Amino acid sequence: MSDSDDAEAPRRPTRHHIAWFLAPALIVYTAVMIVPLAETLRLSLYHVDEGRATFAGLANFARLLLDERWSQQFWNALGNNLVFFAIHMAVQNPIGIGLAALLSLPRLRGRAFYRTAIFVPTMLSFVVVGFGWKLILSPLWGVASTVLDLVGLKSLFAPWLGLQHSALAAISLISVWQYVGIPMMLIYAALLSIPEELTEAAVVDGITGFAQFFRIKLPLLWPTIGIIAILTFVANFNAFDLVYVSQGALAGPNFATDLLGTLLYRVFFGNQLQLGDPNMGATIATMMFLIILSGVCLYLFAIQRRITRYQF
């Protein structure tokens, strides 16, 4: 082919319309996400001295992690966050998988009703859920004591939200009750996408019931379970609203339910006689961002690659 033929070859048109279509979403995302994130990172590198903002570098992070005043609160909140996440992983997601497996049974009647009833709490306001469960578990006017008495278990009742050793577990289980519908629906949708040919072949081989679920269906669900795990991780380390509504900004009793989100709120905006410190609050927010980013990267580059992918 000669040079003249190359010169006469038609050029592919530049698709400027793609940029125009992406521009509105990009502008909104930048204004809502990128700019606040950049400003938070900038604030974390400064501190206010006599009314003037001066560059502090990583001094705020050193104070947060090493200074006795700040480190005790931070490590307590981080530890509570890890427990909060562990309870969701150990209780919420297995229950969601089990409920999805039950809903996928072909002979189950009232499937639509059960699916709706389980998913409804997810759509409720966290204010309704927090105050509602606070009333239910109240030792003065709650119904939890009466319900346990009806089944002969009243001796097990205690003011769980008011006890330091049980408050975090109680809050975590309330959150599990509210959001168990999300993993249930994701797993349920994944189960419906499994080709019937696989289950029919399993029946021919004599694999039915629970054996069929664990040997045939569960391996196909691992990619969805991985996505649920990382969504649970991100949501739990951003948790704030339920603790704030039910236990207040101080995350009582004695900071037993304090999470990184509630610690960030108290430090940034102040609480009662404590003045707000936007720079240290931004430092805590940056640490939360780094923790979540590390968890997501760990999943994407170390775990997701090892999950077997099935193509149908």
Nearest-5° angle of CA 174, CA 179, CA 184?
A: 130
Domain span including residue 88: 59-109+184-306
Give tens-digit pLDDT for 248-282.
889 989 999 999 999 999 999 988 777 888 999 99
Let me know: does 258 contact 80? Beta carbons within 8 Å: yes
For the domain that residue 268 is a member of, what is the CATH number?
1.10.3720.10
Instruction: Give CA–CA dist 85/234, Å, rounded.
Output: 9
**Residue 242 counted as domain residue:** yes
**Residue 29 counted as domain residue:** no
**Residue 279 counted as domain residue:** yes
| Residue 108, pLDDT score | 84
| Residue 163, pLDDT score | 92
**Residue 34 counted as domain residue:** no
**Residue 121 counted as domain residue:** no
| Residue 152, pLDDT score | 87
The pair of structure tokens assigned to 243 is 């603790």
Let me know: does 103 contact 114? Beta carbons within 8 Å: yes
Q: How confident is the model at residue 287 (pLDDT cuts 50, 70, 90)?
A: very high
Instruction: Please state the pTM of the whole predicted model.
Output: 0.87
Collapsed DSSP state (helix, strand, coil) of residue 53: strand
Instruction: Answer whether residue 8 shows pLDDT above 70.
Output: no
What sign does the CA torsion over 32, 34, 37, 41 have? negative
Give tens-digit pLDDT for 219-230.
888 889 989 999
Q: Which residue has the tokens 């700019």?
A: 35
Q: How confident is the model at residue 122 (pLDDT cuts 50, 70, 90)?
A: very high
Instruction: Give CA–CA dist 34/42, Å, rounded.
Output: 12
**Residue 165 counted as domain residue:** no
Give tens-digit pLDDT for 291-305.
999 999 888 887 766
Total domains in the fold of the chain: 1
Give tens-digit pLDDT for 33-58.
999 999 999 999 998 877 788 898 89
**Residue 285 counted as domain residue:** yes
| Residue 4, pLDDT score | 52
Give tens-digit pLDDT for 263-272.
999 999 988 7
Query: Cα 224 from chain centroid?
Result: 15
Instruction: Answer whether residue 207 shows pLDDT above 90.
Output: no
Q: Name residue 274's beta-bridge partners.
A: 271
**Residue 23 counted as domain residue:** no
